[in-house]
Structure 1
């Protein structure tokens, strides 16, 4: 399946979808009393947690305006440690279950490894090492996964605090899941409007869904252009050399006139004195 290319921004150039929901098949034990759909907007290479989904209510027209944000980092910052530049390049940290490094992929990779080590099982939608690996199915397994999730979040918080300490060694590998140095994320704004449910004469129409069974979604880009963010060194070698030269000229009074004075007193004046003495000796 090829992706649908978007050539321009605006609602007319976006993706419009009309969704129908069969309320008779709603699972209250799984979804609760809320009716609707969930939408995920993210990069295809990024793992998305279910806590970041957008809830789409029924009997509404939902408009989602998407704005991409790009992050780029100069290669000159590779000499710094990841905790110093607060990001990681793709080839700096390899993940076990993901090909591309992102902060969410790193967090989920750590969660899967800890769950496999402590619970001896993984969830059915998680990556597995082999087909023979056990899938969590009992109440004890799910309770263990919940405990591991809280432990992993606590470990990440402590890792961020450890990275901020000045006593941290340069060669020590960071345990934090820093954002990717070169990444694309999508921010969204959601707007809702009511759908008209009056079909005119009030008589029943076969094939027309009833109340709380239909919703409409339109997803489009907010603008044709977007601004990216660029990480670079604020004080590089050239800036440092220029700053040192400026300070020296400020405190020493060094300028073009100083160069002329230096040439005069070191070269011209001694040469004039020597030539003058030689001239007097010849005339005697």
Structure 2
């Protein structure tokens, strides 16, 4: 390779050996002639660079580079090795770019943990039970069922657009207005007006209509203790009215201080119903139970699997108290199992407990934990939030379910100007009346459609790449999460035949029209395998990949980089200073 730049030419004694000079003379090149010399400074720099270049090529550990600096090497061979060197660099760049893309887009992998986890390390699932009977029917005249009240309402609306019932008491009118929000909404008209009357406290009306707890929760057993259900269950306000939750966190542990739910719980803490639950919360999903915690703690846990270590209860309803027009043809109870720090949303997923059945629910926990290494990644890259990274307006605890509920609240407030009575809210948020039922009922679907269209538009803009797409709600899963999968079995539970066989006639006299079901919830196994989010490619793995690719194609290493830096800095400077002294 012949190097000439800006009139720079090497002296024969410095740059070329005698054999090269002789071969050049044979070729007819007169090297004895002296060309016009460039300035001394430029000539020294060029000669120093050429000397350093040939020195580097003869000593470097990078494959193929030594052939580029050899003088006897024919030019076509140098071109060949130059092409091979460029092709190697291209292959290295392509493969390293693929490794970098994988490192940036999928840095986290979910794998099984090395050891199994005993069930006492996690809380027993929170169990929310909702009766389909929202109000005890009390026939009077033509009847005051939900359907009869709605027919009267429609009749008045068609005549005068003003609802002035004459044979309905003010209390029944309040109950009817509340049932419009709780019963099936398929019959609610889109143009339904606001019924005249004072602003309702729907929670108080629901509590007034609520069937007695001891009649519907006939008995239960927990940790070998019977008939203490009222110590384990608390009232929970849901979208389907007041339900009862076992082993859930108190509203004061879930909601922020300025919310309506927190305010109501504070008022009820002095009552006997909740006095047993006013305890300090030692547990969190990320840290678990403290090592010093006792067997009986809050939230509750069990020590083993099997029906004897779970909760067992008998649920009861009465045929004459069922209002089929309100909740439809399927009666009984709805049961939802959820993490203690999740707010139950009964209408989303539930297990049916029909009357006259015994239902067994075997629980299989599904838990995902997090390694400390992924905390350094951006949440969008690892596709999950740590507890301190995503703050919610209404909730102290971040979970994906709580985040989605809060997003729905904000969207409903924007869309309808109010929120449903059961939604988390602050004390100043307006509660939707009867004229807004259709609006907030459709808001959830509109929100889902909006989220879908936004994600689809982002995917189309990024050529279908769905990695790292952030939704408007920004409700990614929590990095540490806990879910309860279930296996359900059931059999007939014939109460009448059992009482007849035992000759017991007093029960049916005391509880006429009784229909009963039994429910048992327990862990299926004493140990379970957790999943763990960990680094798929850390910085060490990425550098190891890059080093392997460089070594495979070029024999390049960190020392090769130091070697290159040494030759073209320190060695180049030494050669230049040496030539400068020779010239002088």
Do the two structures share a fold, i.e. TM-score over 0.5? yes
- Higher share of residues assigned helix: 2
- What is the aligned partner in structure 1 of residue 415 from structure 2? 118
Q: Which runs of 5+ in 1 are unaligned?
A: 255-284
1:248, CA displacement in angstroms?
Answer: 4.2
Q: What do the CA deviations read for 1:181-206 (whole angstroms, capped 9, x no partner)?
A: 11111111211111244235586612
Structure 1 or 2, whichever has the larger Rg, is: 2
* Contact 1:74 1:232 survives alignment (8 Å): yes
* Contact 1:88 1:180 survives alignment (8 Å): yes
* Contact 1:58 1:212 survives alignment (8 Å): no
Aligned length: 251
- What is the aligned partner in structure 1 of residue 507 from structure 2? 207
Relative to structure 1, the CA distance from residue 211 to residue 83 in structure 2 (aligned partners, 3 Å threshold; closer, same or farther) is farther
Counterpart pick for 2:448 among 150, 153, 161: 153
- What is the aligned partner in structure 1 of residue 476 from structure 2? 178
Counterpart pick for 1:39 among 327, 335, 340: 335
1:84, CA displacement in angstroms?
Answer: 2.8
For CA contacts below 8 A with separation 6 or more, give which structure has more relative contact order.
1
Q: Does 2:311 align with 1:15? A: yes
- What is the aligned partner in structure 1 of residue 380 from structure 2? 83
Q: Does 2:529 align with 1:232? A: no
RMSD: 2.9
TM-score (structure 1 length as normaliser): 0.77
1:17, CA displacement in angstroms?
Answer: 0.4
- What is the aligned partner in structure 2 of residue 97 from structure 1? 394
Q: Does 2:505 align with 1:223? A: no
Q: Does 2:352 align with 1:55? A: yes
2:369 & 2:501 partners in 1: Cα distance? 58
Relative to structure 1, the CA distance from residue 201 to residue 39 in structure 2 (aligned partners, 3 Å threshold; closer, same or farther) is closer
2:513 & 2:356 partners in 1: Cα distance? 7
1:77 & 1:166 partners in 2: Cα distance? 25
1:81 & 1:238 partners in 2: Cα distance? 18
2:417 & 2:484 partners in 1: Cα distance? 35
1:202 & 1:11 partners in 2: Cα distance? 26
Q: What do the CA deviations read for 1:220-271 (whole angstroms, capped 9, x no partner)?
A: 00111111111122111212232333344444579xxxxxxxxxxxxxxxxx
TM-score (structure 2 length as normaliser): 0.39
1:249 & 1:31 partners in 2: Cα distance? 70
Q: What do the CA deviations read for 1:69-117 (whole angstroms, capped 9, x no partner)?
A: 1112334334444333222222222211111122211111011112122
Q: SS of the residue aligned with 1:186?
A: strand
* Contact 1:71 1:228 survives alignment (8 Å): yes
